[in-house]
Structures are given as structure tokens and as C-alpha cells.
Amino acid sequence: MKISKIDHVSINVIDIHQTLDFYGRILGLKRLETVDCGEFEITYFALPDGSRLELFDYHGKNQANSREESEVGLRHIAFQVEDVAEHEKHLRAAGVEITLPTCDLPNLGARVLLFLDPNGVTLEFCEKL
């Protein structure tokens, strides 16, 4: 078996309009298409490496579930960027909730920033030190 890359990442959304604005306008991802699947719709965004982000909208039926950072399951989605600190300024100006301000993690060789999307999904911007 040989896995070549991640094809897509899927997120269930609470408010599709707020989420589309976040990933499109604030993060600058290119919106592709929306597919009607009957009980839900999937909106696709292109990720820079050729993979896609899928946003699942169950038309208001999704429920928010709070999770502790240490709980089992997906912890966060990380995107490599240049100049994490500059990205933090942009996110703060847009009113995005920052959960870990820009900091250096020398033991990991990285500078990181953690923040939340409108659905409570933790995202990370990171750059190599």
C-alpha cells in the first residue's frame, strides 16, 4: 500500500455563510463548487498543495460540540505559511479568535499560531525557524 497525499479535509459547519467568508475572504482560499447532496451540501475550497477543503452544510442541523484540546480525535489542521506574526495581525484585525498567539517552539523548529474557525475547529499557521 502506498499513500501519496491527503486528498481532502472535511469540516461540518454551523453557519455556512460565516464559514465561507472565513475560508474565502479571511484565509484567501479559492472557492471551487458547491454540490447539493440532498440532506446536505458540500462546498469545496482549493488548498495550495492541490488538495481540497470540504465544508459540509446540513442546513442548520449541525450541533456545536466543545472539546478539550487533550481529547482523543482530530487536534488541529496546520497550514505552512511565511511570517506567522504578520498573519496573526491580519486574523486579529478580522476578529478571529486566537487561542495561542505567535510563539517559537525551538524543540520542534517551528513558529506557530493557533486560532479557531467559525465552527470551533482549531487551525494552525506554522513556519520553520
- What is the CATH number for 124? 3.10.180.10
Tell whether the model's pLDDT for residue 124 goes beyond 50.
Answer: yes
Query: Average pLDDT for residues 48-72, to the nearest whole number?
Result: 77
How far is residue 81's CA from residue 103's CA, in Å, rounded to a whole number?
14
Residues 11 and 17: beta-carbon distance below 8 Å: no
Domain count, the chain: 2
Burial annotation 91-125 (CB, 10 A radius, 16+ → b, else e): beeeebeeeeebeeeeeeebbbbbbbbbbebbbbb
Q: Are residue 89 and residue 42 in the same domain, yes or no?
A: no
Assigned domain for 66 exists: no
Rounded to two decimals, the pTM is 0.88
**Structure confidence at residue 10 as a pLDDT band (50, 70, 90):** very high
**Structure confidence at residue 72 as a pLDDT band (50, 70, 90):** very low
